[in-house]
């Protein structure tokens, strides 16, 4: 097995990703990552000079979003119609700070 990734590399990646690894996990992850890279090595042997990519995540996409068209919204009465409590045309909710009560 070729050493493509060192334990120091794995520690750096884990720190960057904010993943806590024990020394045993770092050692095992180093072995696993090197095995994955070795498994993919045959792909690197192909001569791909001049071969156009067959897929790209952006590609020839155009704007697939709909037009931004203004439509009527709820009236204040409809918006407040199911509110358990309301006051002066506004939702009345329990206070989460201070002495309690509705605000």
CA pair distance 15, 6, nearest whole angstrom: 14
- How is the chain split among helix, strand and coil, in percent rounded to 5? 35, 5, 60
DSSP state of 52: P
Question: What is the greatest pairwise CA distance in the chain?
Answer: 74
Handedness of CA 73, 77, 83, 85 (dihedral sign): positive
Q: What pLDDT does residue 101 have?
A: 66
> Among residues of the chain, what percentage have pLDDT more than 90?
57
What size, in residues, is the chain? 103
Segment 2-47, tens digit of pLDDT: 789 999 999 999 999 999 999 999 999 999 999 999 999 898 888 9
**Average pLDDT across the chain, whole number:** 87
């Amino acid at each position: 097995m070729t050493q493509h990734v060192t334990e120091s590399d794995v520690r750096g990646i884990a720190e960057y990703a904010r993943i806590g690894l024990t020394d045993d996990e770092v050692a095992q992850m180093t072995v696993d990552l090197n095995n994955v890279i070795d498994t993919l090595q045959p792909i690197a042997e192909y001569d791909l000079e001049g071969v156009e990519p067959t897929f790209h995540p952006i590609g020839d996409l155009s704007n697939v979003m709909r037009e931004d068209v203004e439509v009527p919204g709820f009236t204040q009465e409809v918006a407040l119609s199911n509110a358990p409590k309301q006051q002066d045309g506004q939702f009345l909710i329990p206070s989460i700070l201070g002495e309690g009560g509705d605000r």
